[in-house]
Amino acid sequence: MKDDLERGLFQRVMTYKDIHGEIKKRKVLKDDRMWFHPPECPDMVRSTLPSADAFFRSRLNFCRPVGVWGYSLKCPRNNCPARDREDAFLYHCGYANTVRYICDISDWYCMLTEVLACSACRKAAKASATHSIGQFLAGCPIISQLTPAHQAMFPAILTLRHGVDKQVVKLMTDRTAANYMASIWRQVQENHCEKYLHRKDIYSTLLTSLTKERSLLNTIRHKFQPPPQHRKLPSAKLLRKAFLIGEAENTEDYRALIMSTFGKLLKFDSTKKICKKLAGAGCGTAEWCTNVGNELSQVLTSVLTCEESVQKLRPMAKGLIDRYSKAAESPPEEMYVDCGYCRLYGVSSIEKLFNEWMESGMVIHLDIFHWNHRFDAAVRTDHHPKYALFKSALSAAVFAFSQW
């Protein structure tokens, strides 16, 4: 990487004169790429003994958003003295000394980053002991300032000490019964082991063919370089953590997708089953999960509340009404609910929540699932041999009548 002019990090050696008139040489990093690929693994040897490093090289990603892409980035600190200034940007301040290994689908690759510094934070650190020098690696707080196109070109999801390639994270998107985290981890481990053993097999094969051509005495005297140890794969928990970090970065995309979903027929339903599954610090903080969906089974909104009351659900209803009005969408025609629609004691709770839509002509109905269960009060027991047949025929009759 240092000496190869075609594949290496540096350009041709440049000469210049310093202030004293002496001619000096310097190496300048290439500013037209971020990926550096090593030569192909050798498949034959003629006269010289092969080095083990030539068979186990990995590609390198040098993340330089300022040095290569020429971005003008702001200091990510909230207490930066120059946060409100439009002309205050981070400047290049060297390169990181540590190399981060990124886990790919079948191999590892290295990642280097440039170091960016904030002059305002540096001056504040000299004046006050409470303020620290602002130096940042080209990681998550810096990448988030790039355009979406360049953010997509960043290859990995970084954790505190490790990194996982986005191609591995994409394998976890489709979560099915046969595609859980441990299964993905075993598949990635199998790919890594297969590639490592393939390179090791080529290296040992070439050494064997070379020793046949030499005399036995020269072969015994020479010490061959052993292959490097196989790097241990991150645990399944680390892959899950990288997946969650990647999903957190897509929160705005998911929010925009949900906020652009509408419908003419809505379904309003509340349940306690979701809240019972909360664990950790969120356990016991919510009792009801209220969802609003449309006729295409798409979720318009979902909230967690401590009680199912008009006061707690009013912000959700107001936000849903404002979403329709801002998008110039006509109010929904019908809304199906599980309870709270009866006018026996006056205006129902659903009518209070969606008063503006009720004035526009929206009609509230009891959904077929809960209407069907109202017949349970007249049934002696649900263990009757014809109970399931009765409920199925009743539901089919209702939908046949609605279609007619």
Same domain, 164 and 224: yes
Residue 373: per-residue pLDDT: 81
pLDDT band at 128 (very low <50, low <70, confident <90, very high): confident
DSSP state of 266: E
Same domain, 236 and 134: yes
Whole-number percent of the chain with pLDDT over 90: 17
With 80 as the cut, is the pLDDT of residue 312 above it?
A: yes
Same domain, 221 and 301: no
Highest-confidence segment of 8-12, 19-23, 234-238? 234-238
Q: Which of 193, 219, 249 is the last residue of a domain?
A: 249
pLDDT band at 133 (very low <50, low <70, confident <90, very high): confident
Same domain, 69 and 125: yes
pLDDT band at 178 (very low <50, low <70, confident <90, very high): low
pLDDT band at 310 (very low <50, low <70, confident <90, very high): confident
Same domain, 203 and 340: no
Q: How far apart are CA 248 and CA 203, in angstroms?
A: 43
pLDDT band at 18 (very low <50, low <70, confident <90, very high): confident
With 80 as the cut, is the pLDDT of residue 40 above it?
A: yes
Same domain, 261 and 279: yes
Same domain, 201 and 291: no
Please tell me the pTM assigned to this model: 0.69
Q: How far apart are CA 363 and CA 341, in angstroms?
A: 10
**Whole-number mean pLDDT of the chain?**
83
Check residues 14 and 356 and name the one with the higher pLDDT. Answer: 356
Predicted confidence (pLDDT) per residue in 370-388, tens digit: 888 888 777 777 778 888 8
Same domain, 221 and 176: yes
Beta-bridge partners for 113: 63
The count of C-alpha atoms lying within 13 angstroms of the C-alpha of 324, restricted to the half-sphere facing its C-beta, is: 20
- Least confident range from 31-35, 49-53, 64-68, 265-269: namely 49-53
Predicted confidence (pLDDT) per residue in 63-87, tens digit: 999 888 888 898 888 888 888 888 8
Residue 367: per-residue pLDDT: 85
Q: How far apart are CA 167 and CA 155, in angstroms?
A: 8
Residue 402: per-residue pLDDT: 55
Per-position b or e across 335-364, b if 16+ CB within 10 A of its CB: bbbbebbeeeeeebebbebbeebbeeebeb
Q: Is residue 167 part of a domain?
A: yes
Q: Is residue 154 part of a domain?
A: yes
Average pLDDT of the residues in 156-171: 88
Q: Is residue 330 part of a domain?
A: yes
Check residues 109 and 276 and name the one with the higher pLDDT. Answer: 109
With 90 as the cut, is the pLDDT of residue 191 above it?
A: yes
Q: Is residue 70 part of a domain?
A: yes
The distance from CA 314 to its chain's CA centroid, rounded to whole angstroms, is: 32
3-class SS of residue 77: coil
Predicted confidence (pLDDT) per residue in 257-288, tens digit: 878 889 999 999 888 887 877 767 767 778 88
With 70 as the cut, is the pLDDT of residue 400 above it?
A: yes
Which CATH number does the domain housing residue 331 bear? Answer: 3.30.420
Residue 217: per-residue pLDDT: 44
Spatial CA neighbour of 45 closest among 54, 33, 37, 58: 54
Q: CB burial class (10 A; 0-12, 13-18, 19+) of residue 165? A: buried
Check residues 285 and 162 and name the one with the higher pLDDT. Answer: 162
Per-position b or e across 271-291, b if 16+ CB within 10 A of its CB: eeeebeeeeeeeeeebebbbe
Same domain, 301 and 213: no
pLDDT band at 306 (very low <50, low <70, confident <90, very high): confident
With 60 as the cut, is the pLDDT of residue 216 above it?
A: no
Q: Is residue 98 part of a domain?
A: yes
Same domain, 287 and 240: no
Average pLDDT of the residues in 120-138: 78
Q: Which of 195, 221, 249 is the last residue of a domain?
A: 249
Q: Is residue 374 part of a domain?
A: no
Spatial CA neighbour of 63 closest among 29, 13, 39: 29
The count of C-alpha atoms lying within 13 angstroms of the C-alpha of 173, restricted to the half-sphere facing its C-beta, is: 10
Q: How many domains, the chain?
A: 2
Same domain, 70 and 200: yes
Q: How far apart are CA 154 and CA 166, in angstroms?
A: 9
pLDDT band at 317 (very low <50, low <70, confident <90, very high): very high
Q: How far apart are CA 311 and CA 75, in angstroms?
A: 41
Same domain, 210 and 348: no
Instruction: Give the length of the chain.
Output: 404
Per the structure, the complete domain to which residue 330 belongs is given by 257-366
Q: Which of 249, 284, 302 is the last residue of a domain?
A: 249
Q: How far apart are CA 338 and CA 395, in angstroms?
A: 16
Q: Is residue 130 part of a domain?
A: yes
Q: Is residue 346 part of a domain?
A: yes
Which token pair is 345? 């004691």
Q: How far apart are CA 223 and CA 58, in angstroms?
A: 25
With 60 as the cut, is the pLDDT of residue 214 above it?
A: no
Got the DSSP string for 326-342?
HTTPPPPSEEEESSS--
Which token pair is 198? 């393939």
